[in-house]
Structure 1
Amino acid sequence: MSVTRRIPPGSPLVIGHRGAPGYRPEHTAGSYRLAFANGVDAVEPDVVATRDGVLVIRHENEISGTTDVADHSEFAGRRTTKRIDGADVTGWFTEDFTWAELSTLRCRERLPALRPDSAAFDGAEPILRLGDLLALLAETDGIGLVLEIKHATYFAGIGHDLAALVERDLRAAGWADGEHALWIESFERTVLDDLQSRGVRARYVYLLEAMGSPADLVARDGERASTYADALTPAGLDAVAGLEGGSALDGISVDKSLLLADGDTVVADAHARGLTVFTWTCRPENAFLDPRFRGAGEDREFGDYRAEWTRIAATGLDGVFVDHADLGAAFFRDGRSGSGRTGRTLPPSL
Structure 2
Amino acid sequence: MADRRQVLRMGALAAGAAIAAPVIASEVAFAAPGKPSNRPLVIGHRGASGYRPEHTLASYELAARLGADFVEPDLVSTKDGVLVARHENEISGTTDIASRAEFAGRKATKVIDGVTVTGWFTEDLTLAELKTLRAVERLPAVRQRNTIYNGLFEVPTFQEILDLQDRLCKELRREIGVYPETKHPSYFRSIGLALEAPLAEALRHNNLNKPTAPVFVQSFEANNLRDLHDVHKVRARLVFLASAAGGPFGDPRPYASYLSADGLKELSRFVSGIGPDKSLVIPRRADGTLGTPTSLVADAHAAGMVVHPYTFRAENQFLPVDYRTGTDPNAYGRAIDEQVAFHRAGVDGLFTDMADIGVLARDFAGR
Question: Which residue number in structure 2 is paired with residue 297 of structure 1?
Answer: 327
- Please give the secondary structure, in 2, of the residue aligned with 1:47: strand
Question: Which residue number in structure 2 is paired with residue 330 of structure 1?
Answer: 360
Question: Which residue number in structure 1 is paired with residue 89 of structure 2?
Answer: 61
Q: Which runs of 5+ in 2 are unaligned?
A: 1-32, 170-174, 284-291
Contact 1:189 1:216 in 2 (8 A): no
Q: Which deviations, in whole Å up to 9, do the C-alpha atoms of 1:80-113 show, x marking residues without a partner?
A: 2111112111111100111111000000010111
Question: Which residue number in structure 2 is paired with residue 345 of structure 1?
Answer: none
More deviation in 290-299 or 29-38? Answer: 290-299
Contact 2:337 2:361 in 1 (8 A): no
CA distance in structure 2 between the partners assigned to 1:90 and 1:298 by the alignment: 32
Contact 1:107 1:125 in 2 (8 A): yes
CA distance in structure 1 between the partners assigned to 2:229 and 2:253 by the alignment: 22
CA distance in structure 2 between the partners assigned to 1:240 and 1:70 by the alignment: 41
CA distance in structure 1 between the partners assigned to 2:263 and 2:334 by the alignment: 34
Task: Tell me, yes or no, if structure 1 residue 168 matches structure 2 residue 201.
Answer: yes
Q: C-alpha displacement at 1:175, in angstroms?
A: 2.1
- Please give the secondary structure, in 2, of the residue aligned with 1:321: strand
Task: Tell me, yes or no, if structure 1 residue 38 matches structure 2 residue 66.
Answer: yes
Contact 1:5 1:143 in 2 (8 A): no
- Please give the secondary structure, in 2, of the residue aligned with 1:166: helix
Question: Which residue number in structure 2 is paired with residue 119 of structure 1?
Answer: 147
CA distance in structure 2 between the partners assigned to 1:179 and 1:324 by the alignment: 26
Contact 2:45 2:351 in 1 (8 A): yes
Q: 1:134 aligns with which of 137, 144, 162?
A: 162
- Please give the secondary structure, in 1, of the residue aligned with 2:149: coil
- Superposed counterparts of 1:1-350, under 5 Å: 4-7=34-37, 11-141=39-169, 142-178=175-211, 180-197=213-230, 198-217=232-251, 225-242=252-269, 248-261=270-283, 262-334=292-364, 336-337=365-366
CA distance in structure 1 between the partners assigned to 2:41 and 2:119 by the alignment: 35
Contact 1:190 1:216 in 2 (8 A): no
RMSD value, Cα: 1.7
Q: C-alpha displacement at 1:68, in angstroms?
A: 0.2
CA distance in structure 2 between the partners assigned to 1:263 and 1:126 by the alignment: 41
CA distance in structure 1 between the partners assigned to 2:67 and 2:345 by the alignment: 23
Give the letter aligned to residue 166 of structure 1. L
Contact 2:77 2:84 in 1 (8 A): yes
Q: C-alpha displacement at 1:174, in angstroms?
A: 2.5
- TM-score, length of structure 1 as denominator length: 0.88
Q: Which deviations, in whole Å up to 9, do the C-alpha atoms of 1:314-348 show, x marking residues without a partner?
A: 111111111111111122123x246xxxxxxxxxx
CA distance in structure 1 between the partners assigned to 2:244 and 2:210 by the alignment: 33
Q: Which deviations, in whole Å up to 9, do the C-alpha atoms of 1:269-327 show, x marking residues without a partner?
A: 11111111001011110121123322223121011223322221111111111111111
Instruction: Quote the sequence identity (%).
Output: 45
Q: C-alpha displacement at 1:173, in angstroms?
A: 2.4
CA distance in structure 2 between the partners assigned to 1:269 and 1:213 by the alignment: 19
CA distance in structure 1 between the partners assigned to 2:201 and 2:36 by the alignment: 30
- TM-score, length of structure 2 as denominator length: 0.84
Contact 1:284 1:305 in 2 (8 A): yes
Q: C-alpha displacement at 1:179, in angstroms?
A: 5.7
- Please give the secondary structure, in 2, of the residue aligned with 1:139: helix
Give the letter aligned to residue 104 of structure 2. A
Q: Which deviations, in whole Å up to 9, do the C-alpha atoms of 1:104-131 show, x marking residues without a partner?
A: 0000010111111111100001100000
Higher strand share: 1
Q: C-alpha displacement at 1:178, in angstroms?
A: 4.7
CA distance in structure 2 between the partners assigned to 1:162 and 1:190 by the alignment: 13
Residue correspondences, number: 322
- Please give the secondary structure, in 1, of the residue aligned with 2:134: coil
